Amino acid sequence: MRIALDTNVLAYAEGVNGANRKAQALGLIERLPGSSVFLPVQTLGELFQLLVRKLKRAPGQARTAILAWRDAYALIETSEGVLVAAVDLAVTHRFGFWDAVVLASASEAGCRLLLSEDLQEGFTWNGVTVANPFITSPNPLLLSLLK
């Protein structure tokens, strides 16, 4: 099963929102089958901004983190098809555009799950189900993957 990670999962793993959330995110990532994890390019751009602006990391340090994530997992490019699908999602489901880009990217890559705290838990679109990995009762698809 292919899994896409949203920016917040990566941000927490980098220490945004404290040590407890970092430990949760890293624990989750360690349990995921690495060959099944995909990162929309959009998430890495958003992560760079968070690291520089919120964590006050030097841009060079943020770059190092971005390249490490890029090297660890397969990337999903933002194609023309992703752009059109994201606009449609923004119009029909009232998603923020950049969240829609992440969801459309996950769909284009054939992901079954998008792990995100920002989108509606359980929302399914074009074969991708949004699962919040930080809630007390995680999505059954995520639970089956982690067993």
Taking only the tens place, the pLDDT of each residue in 43-92 is: 999 999 999 999 999 999 999 999 999 999 999 999 999 999 999 999 99
Higher pLDDT, 147 or 44: 44
**CATH number of 73's domain:** 3.40.50.1010
The one-letter amino acid code at 50 reads L
Closest CA to 90 of 2, 82, 9: 82
What's residue 108's pLDDT?
Answer: 96
User: Residue 138: what pLDDT?
Assistant: 86
Q: Which domain holds residue 82?
A: 3-146
Across the beta sheet with 3-5, what order do the strands follow? 74-76, 37-40, 3-5, 113-115, 128-131, 124-125
DSSP 123: -
Q: Total domain count for the chain?
A: 1
pLDDT at residue number 145: 86
Identity at 138, one-letter amino acid code: P
3-state secondary structure of 78: coil
107-137 pLDDT tens trace:
999 999 999 998 999 999 999 999 999 998 8
- Mean pLDDT, residues 22-29 taken together: 96
Cα separation of 69 and 40, whole Å?
A: 11
The two beta strands, 124-125 and 37-40, are unpaired
